[in-house]
Amino acid sequence: MKVPFVDLYAQYLTLKPQIDEAIATVIEESAFIRGRFVAEFEKQYAAAYGIKHCVSVANGTDAIYIMLRMLGIGPGDEVITSANTWIASSETITQAGARVVFADVEPDYYDLDPAEVERKITPRTKAVLAVHLLGQPADMERLVNICQKRGIILLEDCAQAHFATYNGKRVGSFGRAGTFSFYPGKNLGAYGDAGAIVTDDDDLADRCRTFARHGAHATSKHDHLMEGVNSRMDGLQAAVLLAKLPHIQEWNAKRFQHAQRYTELLAKVPGVVTPKLRPNATHIFHAYVVRIPRRNQVQQYLNANGIATTIHYPTPLPFLRAYGYLGHTASDFPVAHLHAGEILSLPLYPELTDEMIQHVCAQLAEGLRIG
């Protein structure tokens, strides 16, 4: 049996009439750049999220960069973020002109370790960018307290955590602003690149929206209030997201159910460390990550037997060549370094069947046995 890591076509088939109609309408109206579909998505996403503003942009990376720039973060500032995340969380800090400072992650939850954040704060620290990795909310209570106590801006990268909650509050609404990616493989994914910034700050929302539209005034694209960038969600992506948005909670619930089934079956397999759930948080399982011995050999075995897996992420950011100038060693980030050699993300998407999950678990057990 072949089990893909994610099956976007299977999802499309469940919504084919709605998706086809949405795309056809955009083409019929030539509503390719901005327009009513983009405006409606911003309105509906903000309402569904319970936040005042959703500013749509071209992708999740732009969302972080624009947010940082419009908060005035730049040369002379430091921004602390996670040692284990996708490079978009850190490269945007550098692009804004600030210096990225990495902090290690929690052993059990893989998110930014608040104790390590506090240890890395200096007089130049302007912001902390918390990443809700894999769908698990970071420890926002401690991070909020740290940032408030030290007068530091708290920001959130929610690219993998659409509608996840901590203490009943959605991630992205704890800090000054939060960002989202709607990359196709996300829990709420477009059919190309797309992203958004969410915030309750009226002035910040206006500035982000202006900067993302070449710095143009909201009512006139030829009246430029500042030099900006070109970062617009296109109409096709907005229409697809509008068709999908009503289903996100159901899809998140199915992901959670599948994750619990994985955990139940893998509890019987020696050597497998399954995900732990943070108390008072809802994990929306963008990825189901286990820790195993002989990870590379087991991954090769699974691949040879038709089971697709990936690693979130094979090299912690401080150890990439891009950050060689920081001079970090493994001892600087012991948890991230340890995880990098053990973590493996198993197939997980709403349309996954129980038969598939049982097959993945059986093959994983066999791979560990013979590995």
For 147-151, 212-216, 262-266, 352-356, which range has the lowest pLDDT when averaged over its residues?
212-216
Percent of the chain, pLDDT > 90?
96
CATH numeric code, 8-245: 3.40.640.10
Task: Please state, as a whole number, how many other Cβ atoms lie within 10 Å of the Cβ of residue 206.
Answer: 15
The DSSP secondary structure of 155-187, one letter per residue, reads EEE-TT-TT-EETTEETTSSSSEEEEE--TTSS
Give the N- to C-terminal CA distance of the chain in Å, as an integer. 20
Q: Domain map of the chain by residue range?
A: 8-245, 247-370
Query: Residue 217 — pLDDT band, cuts 50, 70, 90?
Result: confident
- Look at the alpha carbons of 150, 156, 157, 163 in this order and tell me if their dihedral is positive or negative: positive
Quick check: 48 pLDDT over 80? yes
Quick check: 220 pLDDT over 90? no
Q: Checking DSSP bridges between strand 165-166 and strand 169-170, what pairing results, if any?
A: antiparallel
| Cα–Cα separations (whole angstroms), residue 297 to 304, 316, 348, 366 | 11, 20, 21, 12
Radius of gyration for the alpha carbons in the chain, expressed in angstroms and rounded = 21
Output the pLDDT for position 228.
Answer: 94
Output the pLDDT for position 41.
Answer: 98
Task: Calculate helix-pair angle for 60-70, 202-212, nearest 10 degrees.
Answer: 120
Using CA atoms, how far apart are residues 92 and 98, in angstroms rounded to an integer? Answer: 9
Using CA atoms, how far apart are residues 215 and 229, in angstroms rounded to an integer? Answer: 7
Using CA atoms, how far apart are residues 85 and 271, in angstroms rounded to an integer? Answer: 25
Buried b (16+ CB within 10 A) or exposed e, 38-65: beebbebbbebbebebbbbbbbbbbbbb
Reading the block at residue 198, the tokens are 């969410």
pLDDT tens, 225-249? 889 999 999 999 999 999 999 999 9
The DSSP secondary structure of 202-259, one letter per residue, reads HHHHHHHHHHHBTTEETTEEEEESS---B---BHHHHHHHHHHGGGHHHHHHHHHHHH
Pick the CATH number of 247-370 from 3.40.50.720, 3.40.50.1000, 2.140.10.10, 3.90.1150.10: 3.90.1150.10
What integer best gives the mean pLDDT of the chain?
97
Reading the block at residue 309, the tokens are 């897996």
Quick check: 290 pLDDT over 80? yes
Using CA atoms, how far apart are residues 63 and 88, in angstroms rounded to an integer? Answer: 10
pLDDT tens, 154-179? 999 999 999 999 999 999 999 999 99
CA 220 to chain centroid, in Å, comes to 33
Phi and psi angles of residue 42, each rounded to the nearest 5 degrees, phi first: -60, -45
